[in-house]
Amino acid sequence: MSVLRTERLCRSFGNLIVTSDVNLTVEDGERHVIIGPNGAGKTSLINQIGGQLAPSSGRIFVKEVDITSWPPDRVCRMGVARTFQRNNLFQKLSVIENLRLAVQARRGNPLNFFTPVKRLRDLIGRAEAVMRQVHLDGDGGRLVRNLSYGEQRQLEVGIALAGEPDLLLLDEPTSGMSPAETGRMIELIAGLPRSLSILMIEHDMKVVFSLADRITVLYYGEVLATGTAAEIQANDRVREVYLGVAH
């Protein structure tokens, strides 16, 4: 069964078409990477799946449920979590609180208005587990705005994981990172359990070829090709418009 399927998805802003007839499938447990030059409509596609942007036409199915144009919170409750290209965190809150809020949305009772959060050991325990998973152990009490950029990037992924999704949407998780930080991030993503399906945007070709089960190439909003790393590398049109430019 596919965890995500889009059907002839289209989106335009006036005359500018950012998503054009996109049919994309992510199978259960698959690591699917989207590549494409700047302005290919990668983030717009993620935004439509995540509910941040409504498509002009076409349909989106998560686990065969039609979620087209659902608001982000409802999409999230379907088991889809996402990260943002630019860090989108709770800057004035502590690391543990950032994660705890995400854990609470999934497991806690957000309408509880009486128990101090400090006493919710199970939620905090779960948040601490995620903190270790994204290599931020010991940083729980720090305010996010005092973290380094790379650490904030790790937390960005952590918040998404804390919601225990079935499908993880990663919008350029390594962007702006140093080579060492990128290495750690790749390790983190590669170490995620296979029960979790991942749809990821990435620029770094080394990362793409090391992680991806399948790759989709977007070009001016259209799907140019979909296939395994070998198929994509062998594809003439991709070589012409994309790899040819990059290498």
Partner 1 sequence: MDFLFAQLINGLVYGMLLFLMAAGLSLIFGLMNVVSLAHGSFFMLGAFLGLAAFQATHSFWAALVLAPLPTLVLGIIMELLFMRPLYRRGHLDQVLLTFGFTFVFFDAVKSIWGSDIRSLPTPEALQGVVHIAGGVFSDYRLFLIGLGVSLAILFWLFLERSRLGAMVRAGVDDSTMAAGLGANIPALFTGVFAVGVGLAGLGGVAAGPVLGLYPGMDADILIPSFIVIVIGGMGSLRGAFLGSLLIGEADTFGKAYVPSMALFLIYLVMAVVLLVRPQGLFGIKHTGAAAAPVSAPLRTGAPPAQIRVAGVVVLAAMLLYPFLVAGYPRTLIAEIYIFGIFAMSLDVLLGYTGLMSLGHGAFFGLGAYAVVILGSFFGLNAWLGVAAGVLVAAFGAVVVGFFCVRAIGVTFLMLTLAFSQLIYSVALKWRDVTGGSDGIGIPGKPSFFGWDLSDSLVMYYMTLIFFVLCYWSLRRLINSPLGHVFIGVRENEPRMQAIGYRTRAYKLLSFTIGGTVAGFAGGLYAIFNGFISPDAIYWSASGDILIMVMLGGAGTLIGPVFGAGIFLLMKNLVSSYSEHWMFIIGSIFIACVLFFPGGIWGTVRQFELRQLWLKRRPA
* Interacting residue with partner 1 among 29, 108, 176, 227 (CB under 8 A): 108
Q: Which is nearer to partner 1, 35 or 159 (CB)?
A: 159
Q: Please identify, among the stretches 13-21, 56-64, 117-125, 184-192, the one whose residues bind partner 1 according to the rule CB under 8 A.
A: 117-125
User: Considering only residues 12-31, where is the footprint of partner 1 by CB under 8 A?
Assistant: none
Question: Using CA atoms, how far apart are residues 52 and 82, in angstroms rounded to an integer?
Answer: 11
Q: Under DSSP, is residue 159 helix (H, G, I), strand (E, B) or coil?
A: helix
Which listed range, 81-89, 131-139, 170-178, 235-243, lies at the site for partner 1 (CB under 8 A)? 81-89
Residues 134-173 that bind partner 1 (CB under 8 A): 141, 143, 159-160, 162-163
Among 15, 38, 118, 193, binds partner 1 (CB under 8 A): 118
Query: Is residue 104 at the binding interface for partner 1, with CB under 8 A as the rule?
Result: yes
The contacts of residue 85 (CB under 8 Å, 6+ apart) are 43, 171, 172, 175, 201
Segment contacting partner 1 (CB under 8 A): 5-13, 19-27, 35-43, 112-120?
Answer: 112-120
SS3 21: strand
CA–CA gap between residue 140 and residue 127 (Å, rounded): 9
The helix (run of H) or strand (run of E) holding residue 106 is: helix 95-107
Rounded Cα distance between 45 and 199, Å, is 11
Q: How far apart are the first and last CA of the chain?
A: 36
Binding site for partner 1 (CB under 8 A): 50-52, 71-73, 76-77, 81-82, 84, 88-94, 97, 100-102, 104-106, 108-118, 120, 123, 141, 143, 159-160, 162-163
